[in-house]
Chains A and B, each alone.
Chain A
Amino acid sequence: MNQFLTLTVGGIASGAVYAALGLSLVIIFRATRVVNFAQPALALLSTYLAFTVSQATGSYWLGFLVAIVGGAVLGAASDRLLIRPARAHGELGSVIVTLGFLLVAQAVSGMIWTSEPRSFGYAFDFRGLFSAANVFAVVAVLVTAGAVLLLFKATPLGLRMRAAAFAPEAASLVGVRVGLMVTVGAMLAAAVGALAGLLAVPPLLYPTVLDGIFVYALTAAVVGGLDNPIGTVVAGFTVGIGLSYVSGYLGPELVTLASLAVLVLVLSLRPNGLFGRGLARRV
């Protein structure tokens, strides 16, 4: 019973991270209709930025802030310089470009900060079964998800962003600046991704730290539906708890394969995710 409790609580804590990174994938998908494999790259760079700033100034929260803001800037830059031009080259082209960016980000992180693990702190005290740091993670993710949902559903900006994504020509005819909206979407996605990185990385930071987490976040986003933020957040926590049980009862080495199994199973039954709504295919 003790182990069950430990695993469940641990799962909720990791689930918060998957939900956050999954949320960033959803935001960028809603804005650009592209699954952006560069999101973990942006999250990684943002986290390294936080590391540098907090090492230099001694303040965790300053690093935190710089990471979020820096992440947003990087997101805007990658959208303008990479994603936008790549869309002209089809689905394969977009995926490949974002993968290229992932490679570059990991390599540059290794060049500047070396591959050695660096000590990276938690937001709050990490001791205890469900520590203050865990509580912060869950609360931060829920608040962020709520804010994002509110943004999309209830604000004019959100409406403009949705219009820019779904019907760019019609939207621009009514005065929506489509390009700007897409960039705003990219910035928001990268900022959320930066949050995910800051929560995921402790205690040790190194260039490949987000590889596994990206797989689980992608699973959460796909299961929840790539255009459904609430579904993704729910799926994120579910995947976190489920994989925690797999890790505890079956072995930590099987977690990624379990995630793969979930991904394949869900997509085989419902190709647009459990809660997603796909476009009808044009024949």
Chain B
Amino acid sequence: MRRTRSAVIFAVALLLTSCSGAGESTGGEAGAKADAAPGVTDDTVVIGTHQPLTGPAAPGYSRISVAAKAMYDYINDRGGINGRRIDYRVEDDGYNPTRTVEVVKQLVLQDEVFAIVGGLGTPTHSKVVQYLNSEGVPDLLVSSGALQWDDVAKSPTTFGFQVDYTREGKIQGKYIKENLSGRKVGLMFQNDDVGRDAQQGLDQFIRPDVVSRQGYDPANTDVLPQLSALRDSGAEVVVCSCVPAFTALMILTAARLGYRPQFVVSSIGADPVTLTGLLQDFAKRGGAEVSAAALLNGLIGTGYLPDVASDDPWTLLFREVHDEYIPDEPFTNTVAFGMAQAYTFAQALKLAGRDLTRGKLIDAMESGRIAGPGVTPFAFSDRSHSGYTGAFVFQIGPDTATKEIQAPMVTDRGNGPVKAAPTGRRTPEDIALVGA
């Protein structure tokens, strides 16, 4: 036994005689292999994404890829982009980071996608950023508001899409400071980039008023301790940087404790339709006071895309696509998100031109010429890969309809001021992405 063991150890040492440290980088990162164009043929371009189509922590998110596919079908049926159809491959990672790595490798190595578009989730996507960048794969429009996607030096092929949590935190903070001044504020946040980045923004405006900070982990659905602590601290306003499941849990637990603060919820967790779905069953037991509408009444949220109930020209376009391609799907803000993201990618593809390479796609993203449908401009440039630069604030009424209570504002991810967003916004007709 002893001889066997020492022989094994010796053999292992011999075979793996790499003297270089496992964590040490061995030199230059590959960067975007600019001339490469895998996944591109004369008439198609193949793109991929990883989405939590199944999984406990992501109700609502599974519809994003359905909406994006509808938009790509719409574009393909009208001639595609520069004569190419978009072949959109969706892989399910179940919100499990290990599966994300596996399916992304499959998309890159087996499907040979041209780009990854809209990879969803901070814990999931953060595990593939290094891989995608070292392989030179464009990693566009990540569906997450974490700051880490905006790092031109380390991740040159990665671009964000939605407004990042710090910008959003600043806008929320400014609203609270101006409209709910003097009230004690409690913070509830997810124990990761979401919470960290959001607090960075919020603290610039309301730090002196914060009386309690409570984190939650998505794996633990019992938030009673956090809500008890918030209540005991006397917080009259609770800012929730949470995903929809936890927004719902927070609202329910507060109702259970008889605690009625003013909720201010981040865009990722504030979609009224998703929240209604999660809360709807409680009306049956507790009577009218705990119907979903009653629970959501007065909730303040932030958004950066035009609301699906409005008659904004972009919403009309999305509705048209929805009615033609996915009429059985409920038309929610999540659907608008998926379509907006798909449209934005298609714009970049068009700007890259007929002679398509990965390098040209990256240049197109950084050109600053990509616009709409958000209510604020993108921050894309050769120095910034952040997505939307701001948001508006809305409030849910007694009938779950939303009303804008602060016009769109823009800001930066640092200490810059929060200002009104520029008003000239391009419409679908202006951009004329595809023939009618």
Contact = CB atoms under 8 A, between A and B. Distances in A.
Touch test A–B (CB under 8 Å): yes
Interface of A: 2-3, 6, 10, 54, 58, 60, 110, 114-117, 119-129, 131, 133, 203-204, 206-208, 247-248, 252-253
Q: Which 8 A-B pairs have the closest CB atoms?
A: A119-B281, A121-B281, A116-B59, A121-B285, A115-B54, A125-B286, A206-B56, A127-B256
A203 B397 CA distance: 24
Nearest to A111: B54
Contacts of A115: 54-56, 94
B275 to A, nearest CB: 10
B220 A117 contact: no
A120 B225 contact: no
Identify which of B221, B249, B281 gathers the most chain A CB atoms within 10 Å of its CB. B281
B220 A252 contact: yes
A247 B282 contact: no
Interface residues of B, number: 34
B245 to A, nearest CB: 6
Contacts of A121: 281-282, 284-285
Centre residue among A10, A126, A129 by max chain B CB count within 10 A: A126
7 contacts: A116-B58, A116-B62, A119-B281, A203-B249, A203-B282, A204-B245, A252-B225
Interface in B94-139: 94
Interface string B286-327: 110010000000000000000000000000000000000000
Interface in B218-238: 220-222, 224-225, 228, 232
Given A60-B284, A121-B282, A126-B256, 16 more contacts: A3-B228, A114-B62, A115-B56, A116-B59, A117-B59, A119-B277, A119-B278, A120-B281, A121-B281, A122-B282, A203-B249, A206-B56, A252-B220, A252-B222, A253-B217, A253-B220
A125 B284 CA distance: 10
Nearest to B217: A253
A10 B228 CA distance: 12
B67 interface: no
B303 to A, nearest CB: 22
B252 interface: yes
B280 to A, nearest CB: 6
A248 B225 CA distance: 7
B279 A119 contact: yes
Interface in B382-402: none
A147 to B, nearest CB: 25
A57 to B, nearest CB: 11
A139 to B, nearest CB: 16
A60 B287 CA distance: 13
Nearest to B289: A127
B208 interface: no
A111 to B, nearest CB: 9
Contacts of A6: 224, 228
Contact of B252 (A10, A54, A125, A203): A203
Nearest to A116: B59
A54 B283 CA distance: 13
A127 B255 contact: yes
A125 B285 contact: yes
A114 B54 contact: yes
Contact of B285 (A3, A114, A124, A128): A124
Contacts of B424: none
B21 interface: no
Interface of B: 54-56, 58-59, 62, 94, 217, 220-222, 224-225, 228, 232, 245, 248-249, 252, 255-258, 277-282, 284-287, 290
Contacts of B256: 126-128, 131
Contacts, number: 85
B284 A58 contact: yes
B56 A117 contact: yes
A116 B61 CA distance: 10
A277 B364 CA distance: 75
Contacts of B94: 115
Nearest to B286: A125
A67 to B, nearest CB: 15
Contacts of B245: 117, 204
Contacts of A127: 255-258, 286, 290
Contacts of A126: 252, 255-256, 282, 285-286
A122 B281 CA distance: 9
User: A6, A114, A115, A253: which has the most chain B beta carbons within 10 Å?
Assistant: A115
A204 B249 contact: yes
B63 to A, nearest CB: 11
Contacts of B217: 253
B258 A128 contact: yes
Given A58-B284, A126-B285, A203-B282, A110 B220 contact: no
A118 to B, nearest CB: 8
A160 B225 CA distance: 48
Contacts of B290: 125, 127
Contacts of B225: 247-248, 252
Contacts of A122: 282, 285-286
A117 B278 contact: yes
Given A3-B228, A115-B94, A204 B221 contact: yes
Contact of B224 (A10, A60, A253): A10
A56 to B, nearest CB: 13
Contacts of B287: 125
A116 B56 contact: yes
A248 B222 CA distance: 11
Contacts of B278: 117, 119, 204
Contacts of B56: 115-117, 206-208
Given A127-B290, A204-B245, A248-B225, A2 B282 contact: no
Nearest to A119: B281
Nearest to B55: A115
B232 A2 contact: yes
Contacts of A207: 56
B34 to A, nearest CB: 40
Nearest to B95: A115
A119 B177 CA distance: 35
B282 A119 contact: yes
A54 B285 CA distance: 12
